[in-house]
Structure 1
Amino acid sequence: MNKKILVVDDEPSISMLIEFNLKLAGYEVQCVYDGEAVFDVLPRFRPDLIVLDLMLPKLDGIQVCRRLRSQDNMVPIIMLTALQDLSDKIQGLDNGADDYMTKPFSPQELLSRIQAILRRLGALPSASPGEVVRIGAIEIRPDQREVSLHGETIELTPKEFELLSFLCKHRGKVLSRQQLLHGVWDYHFLGDTRIVDVHISHLRDKIEKNAREPEYIRTIRNVGYKLLEPSTMQSSLA
């Protein structure tokens, strides 16, 4: 069955361009032109990914993203923005978007990013059925894509789950931001590493007692990040 992509953009020329290229690549595509229409089409279309413009009538992209996540809908979202201001891009990530692209953009690059996200989702889980990965008080169940902390389930977006899983796979190793972009976002080019920093911040907010003094995800200045078990981190800092 072909993967389904929901395109949300109020500029018909852009929607048609995206739709043409995605259908050419074999995707099933539905286009809507305002934020409220997203929630009308979701029950019957059930997209595998949403391409979401930031500036929309009725509900803007941030409001749509926030509402989806508040409903525990973790469908991957690529945010499109015509705004160059970094704060607008970061705001999209802060409200649950997995990635962003600035207009004007190459349809081929958008297609590549969609393929990368869906490819990684399709590749997970890679663990044995029923396997539980434990690090400190965190338990990861890859086959169910579930994470718990002290026995309580915590809600992660698909990208946060992939990021945590990748860090666990390479626990104790220093990973550069570019390595994380390659390993988690499947970028095979120099990407905007601020995407990594924002997702690390979100992940810390969910798994750390104190995000300013993290137990698990340690920042390696001017390099990247390293995941350690709490006891290992304490001994390494002693």
Structure 2
Amino acid sequence: MRILLAEDDLHLGEGLLEALQKEGLIVNLVSDGEAAQTFIESGLYDIVVLDIGMPIKTGLEVLRNIRNRGIKVPIILLTARDGLEDRIKGLDLGADDYLTKPFELKELVARIKAISRRIDTRSGKSVNEEIRFGDYSFNPSSETVTKDGVIIPVSKKELALLAILVQNAGRVVPKTQLLEEVYSTDKEMDTNTIEVHMHNLRKKINIPNFIQTIRGVGYFVQKDKVIK
């Protein structure tokens, strides 16, 4: 399961990031509302943990914007203990749950798991459906790529890159975005690392011109080559 954690307190955010990763979750951390909205709109995440008191755009502004655009990803709001009006407004805007600070990590994990179970019960599958391109299928929930039913060995980083590219098929994904989303906790990573992983992906997904390099900018997958 892939979680977006939007928290402007970097000390708290990095602590939550590390703790949630230890629970086996794939987590990306952003620290302002504008970045949070951009990442949510990528369609990559199963659940979003969103702090209300974010800079640039508040958590409530982000929540309102994505719901107005028809994005239904489950949202858990993080609020101050005295923020009753914010909690009410957040629920009215379409938040699925909330936690008041300070809170225990195990409670956040329990809320995430509860929402995950509701998703499974309601739809019978994860938020992310299987995505097909050529003879290949990609299931973001199980993190598997198959060709004609045979699993293709793909690393975690390669899977994360592939997910972003196919979810954004039809538009160029900048290298800077990939660095932030896929390598946010790897301080020594650079664009050369992305190029190595892209080279490996192209070898494993043997579709001519499937992943295109836009020199000096990023990468591009044609929309008509992806079936969601």
TM-score by length of 2: 0.52
The letter of the residue matching 2:57 is: L
2:45 aligned partner? 47
Task: Spell out the pairing of 1:101-180 with structure 2 (5 A cutoff).
Answer: 101-125=99-123
1:56 aligned partner? 54
- Find 1:18's aligned residue among 13, 16, 19: 16
1:38 aligned partner? 36
Say whether the 8 Å CA contact 2:5–2:13 is kept in structure 1: yes
Structure with the bigger RCO (C-alpha within 8 Å, sep 6+) is 2
Cα distance in 1 for residues equivalent to 2:43 and 2:27: 9
CA offsets 1:132-158 (integer angstroms, 9 cap, x no match): xxxxxxxxxxxxxxxxxxxxxxxxxxx
Q: Secondary structure at the match of 1:124?
A: helix
CA offsets 1:180-220 (integer angstroms, 9 cap, x no match): xxxxxxxxxxxxxxxxxxxxxxxxxxxxxxxxxxxxxxxxx
Structure 1 unmatched runs, 5+: 127-238
- Find 2:78's aligned residue among 77, 80, 91: 80
1:70 aligned partner? 68
**How far off its partner does 1:41 sit?**
2.4
Cα distance in 2 for residues equivalent to 1:124 and 1:81: 27
Cα distance in 2 for residues equivalent to 1:12 and 1:70: 29
The letter of the residue matching 2:121 is: A
Cα distance in 1 for residues equivalent to 2:14 and 2:68: 30
TM-score by length of 1: 0.50
Cα distance in 1 for residues equivalent to 2:73 and 2:40: 11
The letter of the residue matching 2:89 is: Q
Instruction: Tell me which stretches of 4 or more aligned residues in structure 1 moved more than 2 Å.
Output: 39-45, 123-126
1:168 aligned partner? none
**How far off its partner does 1:33 sit?**
0.3
CA offsets 1:77-127 (integer angstroms, 9 cap, x no match): 00001141422210111111111110000011000000110112112346x
What is the number of equivalent residue pairs in this alignment? Answer: 124
Identity score, percent: 40
